[in-house]
Structures are given as C-alpha cells and as structure tokens.
Amino acid sequence: MEKFFVFFECSVKMDKKKSEQTYSARSKDSVHYKRGFYVFNQENVKLLTNTELKVYEYIVQHSQKVIRMSVREIASETHVSPATVTRTISKLGFENIWECKLYLKETDNRKHNKKVFETSEIVEEFFSRSMQTEYEEKIQAAVKMIANSDTALFFGIGTSGLIAAYASRQFSNLGQSTFHIQDFSYPFHLISRQYRNTVAIIMSVSGETDIMLRKVADLKGLDSKIISITNSSTNTLAKQSDINFAYHLTPEYVDEEVNVTSQLPAVFIVETLARRNYNYTQKMRNEQR
C-alpha cells in the first residue's frame, strides 16, 4: 500500500508538470476570456449533456474555487460522478483537470476587459441548444399546463420584471387570462380560492432572489404550478419549479456587479410559449365543436 501511494503521488506530480508543458505549447482555441468570466468554445459547450452542463456552470461561476479543488470535490459539489467531471473537462478541450486549472489561473489577470458579448454571439450560444428534443418536450408540457389553468401569473424583478410584463401582455393578446405581479406583498394567502388552478411563470437570471423564492413557497402552498425561466438549471428556483427552462448563457457583469446577461433567450421562450399556447387552445376548441 505504501509503495502504491508513493507511485500515485509521483504520477500526479509528473502529470501536472506534463500538463503545464502541453498547455504552454498548445493552441488556446478551446477557451477564451470575456469580462471576468471564463468562456469556453461554444462548439465544445454544444456537445455537453444536461448533466455535464451542471459541471460547466459550476466551473464558470466558481472559477477561483475550482483552481483549488480536486475532481472528486467538484463532483461532490455538483452532485455528479467524478467520471462526469473528467468527461466534461475533456469535452471542453482540456486533456485533464490540471490543464483546466492552468487556464483559469492564466486568465485571472484579465478581469479588466470591458468587452461584452455581441448579440450574434448570444443568439448562437443559446439557439444551438434550444432546438434539442428535451427542450421541445418541456415546451409542450408547459403549454398544456398553461392552457389547462384558469390564470397565468407572471413574476420578475428588475430587467426580468420587464420581460414578465411583456410576456403577460403577449399571452393576453393571444387570449390567455394573465396577471402580471409587480407588488410582491400581494396577499395570495388571503384570497387562496382564486389561485388554486394557476400557473406562475417566473423570470429570474440567478434564480436565487430571496423575495422571489418566498413568493414561490406561498404559491406552491396554494397548489399553483411553477414554470421558471432562469440562466442556470442548478439554482434554487429551478429546483423548486415544476418545469424549468434554463438558457445557460455565460454570465456577464459590468463593473463586477451590474448583471447584463442577455434576456434574448427569455423573450424567445415566452414568445414560443405564448404562440404555442394560442395554437393549442384553438385546436382544442375546434375539436370540441
């Protein structure tokens, strides 16, 4: 056992040194950097499964922590197997975890880059995944959920609130009974009968806003269905939802604190839901005649 341990230790050190040499010699096409976040080649990201996307999101959002973590620790934090972490790192263009860590370290000193994504880059990043079979199945399930409800409630804060207001109006224009909630102190619990057969459609980039999560708890207590549109599929709101649409864009911040992550995917999703809902309800009415 002692000999094995010594051999393993030496192997790790040799592997790390080899990674440093390989990384220095390799082209860096697999990754590039934008505004304090580590952005991986989107052609590689497109190949990731939903489980692997969880690992990818964790690496992007906790880059400095990942530098000091082992594969097993990353697996534990993301609730996947070590093999999934290793496979994700490989798909992102790295030979091993050491090479990934070297990239994160090397690009750390570039946090003053002011460039944000071009709209065309955002469209390519999202739409390359939005037409997948699983996404289509979620759209169909959400449409049925909305069509079978009495009212659709729309929630959002900040920029997400503006998208929620737009979504509510668009659904209304297409014949769906909707209500855009702007006042989060609205006493749902006092008028619970009106909200027994409702669907709450909630917009949130982070999915971690406290007041939003409290409102979700209130609505779930009234047996309302929850559909959320978030940037990540691993946040609290996504986990508490009946259906979650995650668009997995690389988070963007200006001055390290102003979140300017694009809302283009959220608009696309609510437009798709509104139009599909209209077509679905029209079809059901025609069949009943």
Statement: residue 84 has pLDDT above 90: yes
What digits encode the pLDDT tens for the residues 136-171?
899 999 999 999 999 999 999 988 999 999 999 999
281 with 249, same domain: the answer is: yes
pLDDT in the model for residue 289 = 76
| Surface-to-core class of residue 287, CB atoms within 10 Å of its CB (0-12 exposed, 13-18 middle, 19+ buried) | exposed
104 with 175, same domain: the answer is: no
* Cα 136 to Cα 118: distance, rounded to the nearest angstrom: 26
Q: Nearest CA to 273 among 94, 149, 107?
A: 149
Q: Which of 110, 141, 170 is the last residue of a domain?
A: 110
pLDDT mean across residues, the chain: 79
The one-letter amino acid at 207: G
pLDDT, mean of residues 43-67: 86
90 with 132, same domain: the answer is: no
Residue 94 or residue 86, greater confidence: 86
26 with 97, same domain: the answer is: yes
Residue 252 or residue 137, greater confidence: 137
CATH number, residue 275: 3.40.50.10490
Statement: residue 268 has pLDDT above 90: yes
pLDDT, mean of residues 80-107: 84
pLDDT, mean of residues 59-64: 84
Query: Is the full-model pTM beyond 0.75?
Result: no
Statement: residue 8 has pLDDT above 90: no
CB 193 within 8 A of CB 149: no
105 with 138, same domain: the answer is: no
User: In terms of DSSP H, where are the helices of the chain?
Assistant: 2-25, 42-45, 50-61, 63-66, 71-78, 82-91, 97-107, 119-130, 133-147, 159-173, 210-221, 236-240, 264-288
43 with 155, same domain: the answer is: no
pLDDT in the model for residue 248 = 80
Q: Which of 61, 83, 110 is the last residue of a domain?
A: 110
Residue 35 or residue 61, greater confidence: 61
* Cα 71 to Cα 77: distance, rounded to the nearest angstrom: 10
Number of domains in the chain: 2
Which domain, by its residues, includes 87?
A: 2-110
Opening angle at CA 78, ends 247 and 264, nearest 5: 10
158 with 264, same domain: the answer is: yes
195 with 137, same domain: the answer is: yes
CB 207 within 8 A of CB 231: yes
Q: Nearest CA to 247 among 260, 259, 229?
A: 229
Phi/psi at 95 (nearest 5 deg)?
A: -80, -30
What digits encode the pLDDT tens for the residues 209-251?
888 999 899 888 888 999 999 988 878 999 999 999 988 887 7
Statement: residue 25 has pLDDT above 60: no
Statement: residue 256 has pLDDT above 70: no
Residues above pLDDT 70, as percent of the chain: 76
Q: Which of 83, 110, 137 is the last residue of a domain?
A: 110
CATH number, residue 74: 1.10.10.10
Residue 114 or residue 69, greater confidence: 69
137 with 278, same domain: the answer is: yes
Statement: residue 281 has pLDDT above 50: yes
276 with 136, same domain: the answer is: yes
Number of Cβ within a 10 Å radius of residue 34: 17
* Cα 183 to Cα 11: distance, rounded to the nearest angstrom: 60
93 with 128, same domain: the answer is: no
* Cα 63 to Cα 68: distance, rounded to the nearest angstrom: 9
Structure tokens, 41: 């080649």
Which H or E run contains 201? strand 198-203
CB 276 within 8 A of CB 247: no
What digits encode the pLDDT tens for the residues 174-212?
999 998 988 877 777 666 666 678 999 999 998 988 889
241 with 127, same domain: the answer is: yes
